[in-house]
Amino acid sequence: MQLPRQNPAYLGILQYAQISIMVNMNDKWSTPLLDAFGVVYKGAFLHGIAGYSFPLGTHLGVQATLFSHGSYENFRTPITEHDEIRVGHRDRGAQLSFGWAAADWASIGIGASVFSMDAEFETRGSGITIPPNEEYIRTAYCFGVLRKNHDSTVIFDILS
């Protein structure tokens, strides 16, 4: 999850400090459609974000965020018969975002993420194991614009 949890342009109109924490965890099991084709599937996904946003004066805001994402999928098909294939993916990193209100009704924001990313692939049963991929360091960037009326009842924003 390299994107911000919200458009960084909102940081330009931020009025008080905020702490945000989000955790999402789920398991996915085989479905009747997969069962019909003889595919056995199980997936587990975990995603977590923790961030802190605070204003710097009346027209500038900052947000620092830490994030982690991991997914593991196991499946067996009629082609692989007794072999079970396991695929895993992990990324973890940090993001720093800034928002600036150019006027009472408009603000812009930018954000940059740095994160590490790695994956693994393994077959069980046949004894074949492919070593984990190297860990890669990646970057991601975003730019946002916010337009609102004076009483903040109508807000339009776009994030790229």
Domain region containing 133: 8-159
Q: Is residue 64 part of a domain?
A: yes
Q: How high is the mean pLDDT in each 10-residue block of the chain (160 residues)? A: 72 92 82 73 87 94 94 76 76 95 93 90 66 80 91 84
Q: Is residue 150 part of a domain?
A: yes
**Predicted local confidence at residue 4, as pLDDT:** 57
| Total count of domains within the chain | 1
Instruction: Compute, in degrees rounded to 10, the torsion defined by CA atoms 71, 76, 77, 81.
Output: 160
**Predicted local confidence at residue 55, as pLDDT:** 96
**Predicted local confidence at residue 1, as pLDDT:** 44
Q: Is residue 2 part of a domain?
A: no
State CA 66 to chain mean position distance. 10
What 3 state SS string does 124-151 have? ECCCCEECCCCCEEEEEEEEEEEEECCC
H or E segment to which residue 31 belongs: none
Q: Is residue 107 part of a domain?
A: yes
Q: Is residue 1 part of a domain?
A: no
Q: Is residue 3 part of a domain?
A: no
Tokens at residue 6, please? 């919200």
Distance CA 160, CA 138 (A): 18
